[in-house]
Amino acid sequence: MTASSDTPTLPMTGEVISIGDEMTSGARLDTNAQWLSRRMGELGIEIQYHSTVGDSLANNIDVFRVAANRADVIVCTGGLGPTRDDLTREALAALANQPLVMKPSAMAHIESMFAKRNREMPARNRNQAMFPEGSDEIFNPQGTAPGVDITVTRDDGSRSRIFALPGVPAEMKQMFDDTVAPRIMESFSGANHIRHHVMKFFGTGESDMEERLGDMIDRNRTPRVGITVSSATISLRISATGVTPEACQSQIDATREEILTRVGEFYFGDGETFEQQDAIELLLAERNQSLAIIEYGLAAPLGDWFAALGKSHSYVGGLSFANAAELARMFGCDDHEIALATIRQNTGADWTLLVDSYPLLDHTSDKPVEPEEVRFLVTGPKVTNLNANASDTPEAGGNQPEFKRLAVVQTCADQLTECTYEKCVKLGGHPSIVHARIAKAAMAFLRSLLANQETL
């Protein structure tokens, strides 16, 4: 193959290559390939293969040759460090049949990185400025390893473009978003802007979401909508390309509205890292109310998640005990109701959310857990419109949606109209997600009550 500067046109096929013995040996889990596959899919590139190869020059050349013959765009990660094990530059030079030559812009950047850290540059780091002749640099703002952008021509005259990035995820991700994605877009259209928007959902399974969304998740839709699931939370990611940022945004706005029409009852917020606890925090802050959490049984994830909210003025704290009797004991009494009332009174919490209780799981097993009944108890201000609420409450996700209907138990009818609401659910699934699913179902229940409380 020979180096070339021309580029292919749509539709493009892609391949992701991961380089390093730590991956082929299984010492490290490769997450770069998944991340890149999603990003490239959003650009309209159909990823057909991933390849992983160890630190052997012959094997690297072999993998690049196979990939360049079958993919229009290749992104590889790893092998760009300064040591003898780092063979990506050499492999690309061999593939393109070009010598490695020093690239002054890359050399200057590497020197400046060492100067910034007040360290002398080891001689071996000069290797990182060696590029196959005819290739371009991909700027690395975070590290000393610049990326390589090279186009090779196949025997039949067609071309394949290879972007080589470092394996460090933080560096790889920024370089892809800042430089590689725009270059890919430029190569096939006038569109050189891309915008993403993530919407979050809880309360149904992936297959139900897919059915309700229908043609919205087609691969060829404009803009694209991708669906991913993490411990029963569903994310929809809208990816729009256009000639201006505004053109991207208007595609996103229209698609977001359409999504809300179809699956709005499960929606709880926007943003990659936005979770139900963030939604609850917002609802509480709006109302100037606060929350305490009590968890019984064999987990206490809500205590950890709510603590992590950061500078929250709404979350007062969490308690986890084996059961109601153990909580009461800590307050020196044997009445659970008194213990809960003490917590609310002393902390000033307007709401308490209680999970009773997280079941025992065998975390060494991969076998799905049979659903067991869990009870949620929320105490707080009076909630209106309970019937409407009962029907559109996001139920817990999964394949076994056996729920009891929302029951309302008004425990204390004094002037504060503090009420307790009870809900029982049965949730199972893979042992690794059952506790999280229970915690999320509890939050969904609290959200529905918070959103429907009587205005004072």
Tell me: does residue 346 bind its own copies (CB under 8 A).
yes
The SS3 call for residue 246 is helix
Window 395-434: residues binding its own copies (CB under 8 A): none
CA pair distance 248, 355, nearest whole angstrom: 43
440 touches 374 (CB < 8 A): no
Per the structure block, which two tokens stand in for 454?
């009587």
Tell me: does residue 52 bind its own copies (CB under 8 A).
yes
Instruction: Give all strands (DSSP E) within 113-211, no chain letters.
Output: 130-132, 136-138, 147-153, 159-165, 193-202
Window 428-447: residues binding its own copies (CB under 8 A): 435
Window 110-149: residues binding its own copies (CB under 8 A): 142
- Taking contact as CB under 8 A, which single stretch among the options 109-117, 143-151, 195-203, 329-337 is the one that binds its own copies? 329-337
**CA separation (Å) from 409 to 344, 373, 454?**
18, 19, 16
Window 258-317: residues binding its own copies (CB under 8 A): 272-273, 295, 297-301, 303-304, 307-311, 316-317
Cβ at position 137, least distance to its own copies in Å: 22
Cβ at position 263, least distance to its own copies in Å: 18
Using the 8-state DSSP alphabet, how is residue 383 labeled?
Answer: B
- Selected from 3, 36, 129, 377, the binder of its own copies by CB under 8 A is 36
- Selected from 322, 325, 338, 409, the binder of its own copies by CB under 8 A is 322
CA pair distance 69, 276, nearest whole angstrom: 46
Cβ at position 333, least distance to its own copies in Å: 9
Tell me: does residue 363 bind its own copies (CB under 8 A).
yes
Of the pair 81, 318, the CB lying nearest its own copies is at 318
CA pair distance 155, 160, nearest whole angstrom: 11
- Selected from 2, 7, 56, 411, the binder of its own copies by CB under 8 A is 56
CA pair distance 297, 45, nearest whole angstrom: 47
CA pair distance 135, 150, nearest whole angstrom: 5
Tell me: does residue 34 bind its own copies (CB under 8 A).
yes
- Selected from 7, 347, 411, 452, the binder of its own copies by CB under 8 A is 347
Q: Which residues contact 353 (CB under 8 A, 6 or more apart)?
A: 291, 292, 293, 294, 302, 376, 377, 378, 442, 443, 446
In what helix (H) or strand (E) does residue 385 lie, and over which residues does it extend? none
- Selected from 207, 364, 415, 455, the binder of its own copies by CB under 8 A is 364
Cβ at position 369, least distance to its own copies in Å: 12
CA 373 to chain centre: 29
Per the structure block, which two tokens stand in for 24?
């082929």
Cβ at position 219, least distance to its own copies in Å: 9
Tell me: does residue 456 bind its own copies (CB under 8 A).
no
Tell me: does residue 59 bind its own copies (CB under 8 A).
yes
**Radius of gyration of the chain from its Cα atoms, rounded to whole angstroms:** 27
**CA separation (Å) from 13 to 54, 191, 308?**
24, 18, 41
Cβ at position 362, least distance to its own copies in Å: 10
Cβ at position 170, least distance to its own copies in Å: 3
- Selected from 2, 7, 8, 41, the binder of its own copies by CB under 8 A is 41
Tell me: does residue 37 bind its own copies (CB under 8 A).
yes
Window 10-29: residues binding its own copies (CB under 8 A): 18, 23-29
Tell me: does residue 67 bind its own copies (CB under 8 A).
no
User: In sequence order, which ranges of 222-307 are alpha helices (DSSP H)?
Assistant: 245-263, 276-287, 301-307
Cβ at position 406, least distance to its own copies in Å: 27
The residue among 298, 227, 239 whose CA lies nearest residue 266 is: 227
